[in-house]
Amino acid sequence: MLNEGSEFAGRYKFIKLLGRGGFAEVWLAEDNMTGVQVAVKVYAPGTGLDENGIKIFTQEFAGVFDMNHTNLLRPTHYDCYDRMPYLIMPYVKNGSAFKYIVDEQKIPEDECWKMLHDVAAGLAYLHEKNPPLIHQDIKPDNILIDDEGHYLITDFGISARVRSTIRGALAQEQSGGTLAYMGPERFSTTPKPIMASDVWSLGAMMFELMTGMPPFGNHGGMLQKNGADIPIIEGDYSQQLKDIIYATLAKEPWDRPSARKIEELAYNKLHGIVTPTENAAQNVETEPVAPVAPTPPPIESPLAEATGQQQDFTPKQQQQDFTSNQQDFTPRQQDFTPKKSQPITPKKGISKGIIAAAVAGVLVIGGGIAMCGGNEDDSQPAATEPVAAAAPAVNYDSLAQVKISEGIALTEQADTFMTNHIEDKFDEKYNKVEETYLAALQKLESALDDEDSLSATVVSQAAARKDTVKARLLGIYKELQESAEFVPEYKSRAEAIQPIISELIETNSNNDDNDE
């Protein structure tokens, strides 16, 4: 067992225990070599891991040591002592966000926006890795506060594979994550965590810091999956802040905003940025508007203010272009107020011609009825000729974004599979992951059926998503090709992908030739 005053790995003298979880213990220690205080995180304390477990652990952490982001607490050293893997990290003396709960403080609104921004920024960085890195355990204990007041995510890089390895060593049965912060999809027949699962955990954490309790107690999304509504957030917080928290806690993963979108909204709020659409809405006098036929809800629509007016979702200026990243707009989300009604999903293949024909048919029938019902007395004034009603407005951007959101969901599903089956993703006992990517690509291409009627932004979004999926398919194609001589089935699977990404294959081949 680990104890205060004991020396660890011949170098670190334990001063006091900072925290203990299901997998590890964190100790404040003094580095005997430098005299500096550090945090030592020891995994599988007391029992240790076998050789295979240590190998798996080492392989996994090799993939996260190049992570470099302002809102991630990056380890400075990794090693193994007495079969116990451990990390050396900077000691953050301000502790974690859990202090708000321990001190029974309600986090102030300004601090809420800052934490939302920082944690979402760190998550977006992880989610935009290829393949995406899912944290799986966002909670107050894993959000540290540095001397400058920045919020730092810790405990990232603990994949399902590593968790399973440690659980086996410690004879534990619980799943990865903490129940109170696990979204409803984590309790389904396919409980693999996805990017949207981290967003739900972020919302549950913020809800707890704002109200003193997680939204569904210690049962997490299990209650929501069984029909429980999202509780109302009490307290002196703006409706804008409440709405974004409600949105993160949406039951369906595709109804939640992405981490990148949350970061952008929080950034704009913290810096007082008013988008052009919002500014225009505030300066236009309200006038009666004739009723218009309803249109399907837009996917990436503005955040509802307390006044009911909308904000524009124009992202803030970033230091790098995130157009091609995993998530850059919110799927099937009209505003950030939870709704019980199901989003409208148009049938595949709807076109302008069909809509126009339907409208024309209604007008012709209406005119015929009016003519048949005319006055029989010719001496009477002729009936006023009916005025054709205006054709219903069709929001082609909205229709396209519904399809784009479906493509995103499929892409994320395949990304998650690739993450969790990194070594055996092509094993015959698993689904062919490339088929999921191909289905995603088909959805994204169908979004462009009415390209001439779409805004340049939506066209760009669909195109960027297509490029992302094709890049995934190229990686799979290469791996299948490399193993085709040993597994005949791989050759046919590679040949099925080839026509879809032929241009990308050719470009890649030319680049390889130039490198030589």
Q: Distance from CA of residue 46 to its chain's centroid?
A: 36
CA distances from 343 to 185, 221, 346, 439, 442 (A): 18, 21, 10, 21, 21
Q: How many CB atoms are located within 10 Å of the residue 315 CB?
A: 18
The runs of H, that is alpha helices, within 96-232 are 98-102, 109-127, 160-170, 195-211, 221-225
Query: Which backbone phi and psi does 308 adopt, to 5 degrees?
Result: 90, -5
CA-derived radius of gyration, the chain? 27
- Bridge partner residues of 13 (DSSP): 7, 30
Give the burial string for 226-244 (b: 16+ CB within 10 Å, else e): eeeebeebeeebebbbbbb
155, 176, 121: which is closest to 320 by C-alpha?
Answer: 121
Q: Which two tokens stand for residue 246?
A: 């409600």
- Which DSSP symbol is given to 150? -
- DSSP state letters, 62-118: HTTTT---TTB---SEEEEETTEEEEEEE--TT-BTHHHHHTTPPPPHHHHHHHHHH
Nearest Cα to 219, choosing from 209, 228, 210, 211?
228
Site of tokens 């299990």: 222
- What are the tokens at 438? 């191909």
Please name the helix (run of DSSP H) or strand (run of DSSP E) that holds residue 151, with its range, or none.
strand 151-153
User: How far apart are the C-alpha atoms of 345 and 355, rounded to whole Å?
Assistant: 16
* Catalytic-labelled residue, pool 31, 66, 110, 137: 137
Inter-residue contact 216 to 224 (CB < 8 Å): yes
SS (H, E, C) 314-380: CCCCCCCCCCCCCCCCCCCECCCCCCCCCCCCCCCCCCHHHHHHHHHHHHHHHHHHHHHCCCCCCCC
The answer to whether the beta carbons of residues 334 and 298 sit under 8 Å apart is yes
For the question of residue 198 being annotated catalytic, the response is: no
Residue 418 in contact with residue 432, Cβ under 8 Å?
no
Q: Please report where in the chains the tokens 């004879």 appear, as a residue.
A: 171
Tell me which residue of 497, 492, 359 sits closest to 435, measured CA to CA: 497
Give the residue numbers marked as catalytic.
137
